[in-house]
Chains A and B, each alone.
Chain A
Amino acid sequence: MLIERKWKKWIFFYIPMAVFILFTLFPFYWMAVTAVRPDPELYRTWRQANATPFWTLEPTLEHFKGLMQTTAFPHWLWNTMLIALVSTVISLVCGMFAGYALARLKFRGSEFLGTAIFVTYLVPQTLLFIPLADIIRDMHLGNTPWALMLTYPTFLIPFCTWLLMGYFKTIPKELEECARIDGATRFGAMIRIIFPVAIPGILSAGIFAFTLSWNEFIYALIFMSSAELKTVPVGVVSELIRGDIFFWGQLMAGALLGSIPVALVYSFFVEYYVTGLTGSVKG
C-alpha cells in the first residue's frame, strides 16, 4: 500500500472532492431555495443590504400552488412520463430483437447492418428536425403523443441494440442449444431462455433510454403545439415565460418537480444506469 500523510490527503483528496460536490450540487440547491422563496424576497437585488441569497426565512409553497393551478403542469408531467415509457418499451423490443439477430444469427450483411445502426446512433436530432417536422405533419402525427413516441426511438434503438448485442454475446451458446434439443424453436428459445437471462442488460438499456427520453427537447418543442400536450421541458420554456417576464419562482418549482421523477427512477437503479452509461460508449 502507498502510505499518505494526513495533510497530503486534505490537499489532494478532501478539498478537491468537496469543491467537486459543491460545484455539482449547488445548482440543485439553488433551484430548491428559489422554488420556496416568496416573491418580494426573490426580486431583491444583489446589492441590497438585507439580501439573504442562500436561504429564506419565510419559505412558501405559493409557486407550487400557482404552477399546479394556473398552468397545465400536471399534464406535462404525465405526458413526459407516458412518452418516455412508451418510447423506451418500443426501443427495448426493437433493440432486443435486432441485438439478438446481430449477435447470434448468421446472414449476409450482418456486419454492415451493425455498423449502419451504430452510425445512426451518432446522427444528432439537430441535423434532421426541419424535414422531420414535415414528415410528422404529412403522417398526421403532429401534435399527438405518437409524434414523440415514434421519433424518440430513433436515438434509443441504436443504443439499445448495441448494448444488448454486447450482452447477448456474453451468454453461452450452450444454454440455447439445450433448449433447442428439448424441442424449442429458435424464436421460442430466444424469448424463453435468452431474454430472461439478459434481464440485467435489458434493465440497464431501459433505464438509460428512459432518462434520455425524459431529457429530449428539440423534437418536443417542434412537434407539439397545444399547451396540455407538451412535455415538462417544453412546457416550462414556453408557458412560464410570458413575453419578457420570467416567473422564476414557478420556473424553479417546475424544474424541481420535473426533475424528481427521473431522479427517483435513477436512484433506484443507479448500478444499472451506470452499466448502461458505460456500455453505451463501448461499441
Chain B
Amino acid sequence: MLESEKVLASTLLTPGLLILVLFIAYPFVMALWYSLTSIRVGDPGQFVGLDNFVKAWNDTIFQVAFKNTVFYTFWATIFKLALGMWLALLLNRSFRFKRIIRASMLLPFIIPTVLSAFAWRWMFDPTFSVMNWLLFHTGMIADRLPFLSSGDWAMWCAVLVNTWRGMPFFAITLLAGLQTISPDLHEAAALDGANAWHRFWHVTWPLLMPVTLVVVVFSVIQTFSDFQLIYVLTGGGPANSTHLVATYAYQVGVASGLLGEGAALSLFMFPVLFAVVWIQLRFMKRMEGA
C-alpha cells in the first residue's frame, strides 16, 4: 500500500496539514466572517457588511495605531539592517574569543521578548531610570528624559528595543551570507585600488543582496505584526498614543470583547503582509529560474 508514491505522500502530509488547516486556514476564514458581523463575547451578533472596517477607518486611535505600526516597522528595519550589517562585518574578521562573542550576540534574540522588554521598561522607568542617572551624571542632561511617558519618545524607545532584539538575527544571517563570499574577490578588488568602502559597496553588498532581501522580508512581517514588545513596554499608552495595530486589536477584541471589530482591526494588517509575502514568492521564483 505505502509503496505507491501518491498514497505515501498523502499519508505523510496529513498530520501537518491537518494542524495547519484547523488552526490557520479555518481561523482565517472565521476572522473574515467575524469582521463582517457585530459579534461580541456572549452575543453572536448579525451581518453588518463593512461597518467594522468603516468604523476602524474613522477611528482616530486606529489611525494613530496604523501610523505607529508603519513608523515602527520602517525605522526598526532600517536600524536592524544597518547595525546588523555592521556587526556581521565585524564578526566576519578573525579575533580572539570569536565563538563566545558571536554566541552571546544572539542572546537578545533567544531570550523571550516579554522578559527582556521588562528589563528595558525598568531601565526607562520615570523615577528610577538608570539611563537618566547616567546622562545626568555625565552632564548630558539637566532634567530627566520622558522615555515612556511621552508618546513620541515612547515610539522611539520601542524602535530602540526592537532594534536591540532583532539586530542579532540580521547580523548572524548576513554573516552566514558573508562567509560564502570568496576572499579572492576582495583581494582582486583591493589590488585594483578599491578602498574598504568601495569593496563593500561594489563587491559585498551586491553579493549579499539575496540574503538581505529575505531577511528584511521576514523582519518586516515580524515587526509589522508585533504585539509583545509594545504590550509590555507601554501597553499602548500614554493615552493610546503608542498602540500598534495588533495591540489595539487586542484591546478592542479581547479586553473589550468586541470580537467583530477586533477581527476587522487585525485584518487591516493583511494587505501589507500579503504584499510583502507576494514580493518574497516572486523573488523566490526568480531565484529558482536563475
Interface residues of A (CB under 8 A from B): 2, 13, 16-17, 20-21, 23-25, 27-28, 30-31, 34, 42-47, 51, 53-54, 90, 93-95, 97-98, 100-102, 105-108, 110, 113, 115, 117-120, 122-135, 150-151, 153-154, 157-158, 161, 185-187, 211, 214-215, 217-218, 222, 232-234, 236-237, 248, 251-252, 254-255, 258-259, 262-263, 266-267, 270, 273-274, 277-278, 280-283
Contacts and interface: CB of A to CB of B under 8 A. Distances in A.
Interface in B244-290: 245-246, 249-250, 253-254, 259, 262-263, 266-267, 269-270, 273, 276-277, 280-281, 284
Interface in B52-104: 83, 86-87, 90, 93, 95, 99, 101, 103-104
Interface string B21-40: 01111111011001000000
A101 B15 contact: no
Q: Is the interface of B mostly helix, strand, loop or mixed?
A: helix
A16 B90 contact: yes
A236 B115 contact: yes
B234 to A, nearest CB: 13
A56 B119 CA distance: 17
B262 to A, nearest CB: 5
Interface string B117-138: 0111011010111101110100
- Of B16, B101, B113, B172, which is in contact with the most chain A CB atoms at under 10 Å from its CB? B16
A23 B120 CA distance: 12
A122 B273 contact: yes
Given A24-B107, A25-B107, A187-B2, A126 B266 contact: yes
B16 A161 contact: yes
Contact of B144 (A46, A123, A158, A277): A46
B20 A101 contact: no
Given A34-B122, A119-B277, A154-B19, A266 B3 contact: no
Contacts of B133: 46, 51, 53
Contacts of B6: 107-108
A146 to B, nearest CB: 12
A30 B119 contact: yes
Given A97-B13, A105-B8, A124-B246, 12 more contacts: A17-B101, A28-B119, A101-B8, A117-B16, A122-B221, A123-B273, A186-B3, A234-B114, A237-B231, A255-B115, A277-B106, A278-B172
Interface of A is mostly: helix
Interface stretch (B149-157, B200-208, B222-230): B222-230
B61 to A, nearest CB: 17
B143 to A, nearest CB: 10
A45 B128 contact: yes
Top 10 A-B residue pairs of the complex, sorted by shortest distance between their CB atoms: A124-B225, A94-B16, A131-B30, A126-B246, A233-B114, A255-B115, A97-B12, A46-B133, A278-B176, A101-B12
A117 B90 CA distance: 36
19 contacts: A17-B95, A27-B108, A30-B123, A42-B128, A46-B127, A46-B129, A46-B132, A53-B130, A102-B13, A106-B5, A124-B273, A130-B266, A135-B30, A222-B254, A232-B112, A255-B118, A259-B112, A270-B106, A283-B280
